[in-house]
Amino acid sequence: MKKYDVAKQFQLVGEVDSITPYGEGHINDTFLVTIKDSSMKYVLQRLNTRIFANYQGLMDNIQKVTAVMYDIVKSQGGDVERECMRLIPTVDGKAYYVDGNDCWRVYVFVKDTVVYQVIDSPEVFENTGEAFGKFIATLDGFDANTLCEVIPNFHNTVDRYKKFLTAIEQNKSGRVDKVQKEIDFVNARADKLSLIVDALESKQIPLRVTHNDTKINNVLIDKATGKAICIIDLDTIMPGSLLYDFGDSIRSGCNTALEDEKDLSIVNFDINLYEAYCKGFLRGIGDKITDKELDMLHLGAIIITLECGIRFLTDYLDGDVYFKTQYADHNLVRCHTQFKLVEEMESVSKQMLEIARKCKNNI
Ligand code: ADP
Ligand code: GN1
Ligand code: MG
């Protein structure tokens, strides 16, 4: 079905003027919908149903979480038009529209915001940290059992490592010989990959409802104030660890270059931005963080960056079947930036721990 016909299946106010590709996500197809003679805009998304096979469970999670967030923002006197994601129902009153293998949904487009692919301001990043910290604190009372596990083992780094070893064995793309150095890099760090999984299993840290995809382009920043006003990309909200949520913002936001920068000499880990995020995050989450989690924050950053690099490398070995790619070695280029960041974070990991403790004490 054509996109314009799909748009007609939703309760949009006004007549559609244009539907154009939008954003830089790696998974779904996102379109900006404009309306004739109106400033109203919408975001139309075709979910990647190969990745999100259980799109019914996913949309169910999103409905539950957005309803809770709406009530909270409203009760705190916030602007519900801009600070929460709002689904537009279909003409039949459903949350999404299925056309063959495609699943479509529509959100209200939040205006006058910007998303960053690279962070250039500590203030903006501190605000981002505060928003994600508050997000986790807000979901603290949410019963994890009411949400489905959208992608099983999504941040199970032990399982990610197993899948990586299988990809090497199967060598579907015939690229294994090209990446022996990268494979060695991962194998040398295999021990690290179980640290968070073990801590969760032994209940040293709690299982929470978390976002699981907190990269910096998944938060909308108000153009006028620089405040992080709305957290988006809610597809992977499910039970998890806050260490991954903290870590993925650090992975993406403390990188001085793009995730797919080819010139590794400009890919660096910015520890000042790390401190800015810590300040905001710890202020936002308040007393909901445990001492053990606090002392593992730096590991969250290192492990998720390693995980992300492994995922790009695995996809490279599998023949680029998961992440959207624009050229043949795109996943390998992404893997290199992640491994460079891992090395740099490892070299300052003690400092990262001290910064987190200092920021907590200074709240
Ligand atoms: P993906 O899962 O592919 O990453 P996202 O849900 O993150 O898809 O959307 C892709 C991009 O579209 C975002 O990075 C953001 O720029 C933009 N976007 C998504 N939803 C909204 C919204 N409600 N208002 C404004 N921009 C949005
Ligand atoms: C994907 O959807 P997007 O582009 O925000 C991926 C994340 C990765 C990220 C790497 C569902 O995020 O897990 O960390 O790419 N999302 C999914 O850029 O796999
Ligand atoms: Mg996204």
Residue-wise pLDDT for 72-92, tens only, equals: 999 999 999 999 999 999 999
Residues with CB under 5 A from ligand 3 (ion): 25, 218, 233
Alpha-carbon distance 342 to 334, whole Å?
13
Indicate whether this model's pTM tops 0.85. yes
Residue 233 CA to ligand 2 center (angstroms) comes to 9
Name residues contacting ligand 1 (CB within 6 A): 22-25, 27-28, 30, 43, 85, 107, 109-110, 115, 217-218, 220, 232-233, 235
State the distance between the two ends of the chain, measured CA to CA, in whole angstroms. 53
As a CATH number, domain 122-361 is 3.90.1200.10
CB distance 99 to 109 below 8 Å? no
Distance of CA 16 to the CA centre of its chain: 30
What's the mean pLDDT in 268-293? 98
Residue-wise pLDDT for 173-195, tens only, equals: 999 999 999 999 999 999 999 99
The neighbour count for residue 112, using CB atoms within 10 Å, is 11
What's the mean pLDDT in 112-128? 97
Q: Which residue has the tokens 């903290």?
A: 246
Each domain of the chain, given as residue ranges in start order, spans 3-111, 122-361
Residue-wise pLDDT for 236-273, tens only, equals: 999 999 999 999 999 999 999 999 999 999 999 999 99
Q: Which residue has the tokens 């929470």?
A: 208
Alpha-carbon distance 182 to 202, whole Å?
31
Alpha-carbon distance 157 to 185, whole Å?
15
Residue 62 CA to ligand 3 center (angstroms) comes to 14
CATH of 3-111, one of 3.40.50.10300, 3.30.200.20, 2.60.120.10, 3.40.190.10: 3.30.200.20
Tell me what pLDDT residue 214 has: 98
